[in-house]
Structures are given as C-alpha cells and as structure tokens.
Amino acid sequence: MLKATSLEEAKLIKSTLEVEHKQGLLIDYAKGQNTTMAALMIRYLREETPRNKSFEIDRILVLGV
C-alpha cells in the first residue's frame, strides 16, 4: 500500500502507477484468486508437458492414471 504525505507526492505516485500500467508492469493478482489447482494442472498438461519427452509419464504423475 502506498501512502503520500503531500499532494505532490500523491501525484507522483499516481503518474508512476499509470506509467507502469501502460508498460504492463502492474500485476493484477485478482485473477489468481479465482484459479483452482485443478485448472492449473489441466493447463500444465495441455501447454507444457507436450514439449517434454516424458509427456506420458508426466500425465500419469499428475493425473494418477
């Protein structure tokens, strides 16, 4: 949490945050609050494991199948 002790400092903080937002440096963690572990595991299986030689083994380890 950012706190400003003066109006000038508040304006500086606001402009800094706006620049970071435009550059994509500001991270929004709200999306992560709604993501389940199951959704992350499914995404991992779809996007990351096909790149590995051990795709079938990863699938077995993650899914237990």
Structural domain boundaries, residue 58? 35-65
Q: 1 falls in which pLDDT band (50, 70, 90)?
A: low
pLDDT of residue 11: 93
pLDDT of residue 65: 66
Q: For the chain, how many structural domains are there in total? A: 2
| Cα–Cα distance for residue pair 25/52, rounded to 1 Å | 30
What DSSP line would sit under the chain, residue for residue? Answer: ----SSHHHHHHHHHHHHHHHHHT-----HHHHT--HHHHHHHHHHHTGGGSTTHHHHHHHHH--
Residues 7 and 23 in one domain: yes
pLDDT, one tens digit per residue, over 9-50 is 999 989 988 888 888 877 767 777 888 888 888 888 888 888
Residues 43 and 24 in one domain: no
Residues 25 and 41 in one domain: no
Which H, E and C letters describe 32-48, residue by residue?
HHCCCHHHHHHHHHHHC
